[in-house]
Amino acid sequence: MFDFSQLRCFATVAEELHFGRAAARLNMTQPPLSRQIQVLERVLDVQLLDRTSRSVRLTAAGRSFLPEAQRILRLAETATHVTRQVAAGRAGVLKLGFTAASAYDFLPRLVIAARAELPDVTLSLREMVTKDQVEELLGGRIDAALVRPPVTHPDLASVRALAEPMVVAVPAGNPLAERATLTLADLDREPFIAYAPNEAHYFHDLVRGLFAEAGIQPRIVQQLTQIHSILALVRAGLGVALVPAAAERLRFEEVAFRPLRLPAPRPAELHLALRRDGDDPLIARLIAILAALPPG
């Protein structure tokens, strides 16, 4: 079987039609160059070149073989380049899961930064709730996941990607919308649109904990899963809600967003989860991009 060095020698001579110029291009002397082509001809059992003291020309077999040899060399060069790029974390496919709420602001900023830093990497994005992302991550069907904490599975690790304050969403006609900031006590008698305990347990537990610390029992009128659905009901005047600050990006008409003043910060967090045994260099590059990402 022939090897790449023999193909390269043949292709160079075929392009130059001159052994001296071909040898110079390959940084070698003419005798070993001639031997390489002779070995290739013996392997193929055909004559590729007609040689005289004055000229070199391709035989019919040589003319047929040349484009195939060039194609094989290009494929080898491409494979080498791509492999090195993947090993360095500069190429490949990165399969990333994300929650719906992260797409309001954080995910677009992350994608823009990743495309600028890793232009040869293909991002494959999948929207899923945290529970489904964890299952897909453990099964190897995604490489990393933007999830709500805590990440407790022993085979997974996580780094905090985002911490954003909770704000109050108020119907525009509600007197609370006239205030610059609000406290939990201001919501004590207000109808409240809450998060469903099972489908949206992270935000449910976060909001319930805030009210418990303040000693307030909200008057819950609805429990929903998706933040955009909650804001739709706020717009309809059914009550107020607590949502992450990025929800303001949804720009619901007739909904006012007001900062929530708390005794101590209790932000909504988003974590990047990954497998502990993962060795993909792209994950390390993604973590570095996260660390450099400016606040929203």
pLDDT at residue number 83: 61
Q: Where are the alpha helices (DSSP H) in the chain?
A: 4-16, 19-26, 30-44, 60-87, 106-117, 130-138, 201-214, 227-235, 281-292
> What confidence category does residue 98 fall into, taking pLDDT thresholds of 50, 70 and 90?
very high
Rounded to 5 degrees, φ, ψ at 40 are -60, -45
User: Stretch 127-144: mean pLDDT, rounded?
Assistant: 94
Is residue 86 predicted with pLDDT exceeding 70? no
- Hey, how many other C-beta atoms are within 10 angstroms of the C-beta on 152? 8
Residue 136 — very low, low, confident or very high, per pLDDT cuts 50/70/90? Answer: very high
Distances (CA, A) of 69 to 1, 37, 57, 65, 212: 13, 13, 16, 6, 74
Helices 30-44, 4-16: axis angle to 10 degrees equals 110
Measure the CA dihedral 113/227/270/215, to 10°: 150
Fold match between 4-87 and 92-163+269-292? Answer: no
Query: The tokens 């085979």 sit on which residue?
Result: 155
CATH 3.40.190.10 assigned to 166-265: yes
CATH superfamily of the 92-163+269-292 domain:
Periplasmic binding protein-like II (3.40.190.10)
Give the model's pLDDT for residue 43.
87
Both structure tokens of 218? 């909200």
* Tens of pLDDT, residues 34-84: 899 898 889 889 999 988 777 889 999 889 999 998 998 888 787 666 666
Q: How far apart are CA 47 and CA 15, in angstroms?
A: 17
Q: What is the pLDDT of residue 72?
A: 86
HSE (side-chain half, CA atoms, 13 Å) at 141: 9
Helix ranges (H only) for 45-192 are 60-87, 106-117, 130-138
Listed by start position, the domains of the chain span 4-87, 92-163+269-292, 166-265
Q: What is the pLDDT of residues 207-223, one digit of tens each?
A: 999 999 999 988 999 99
Q: What is the pTM of this model?
A: 0.71
CATH code that applies to domain 4-87: 1.10.10.10
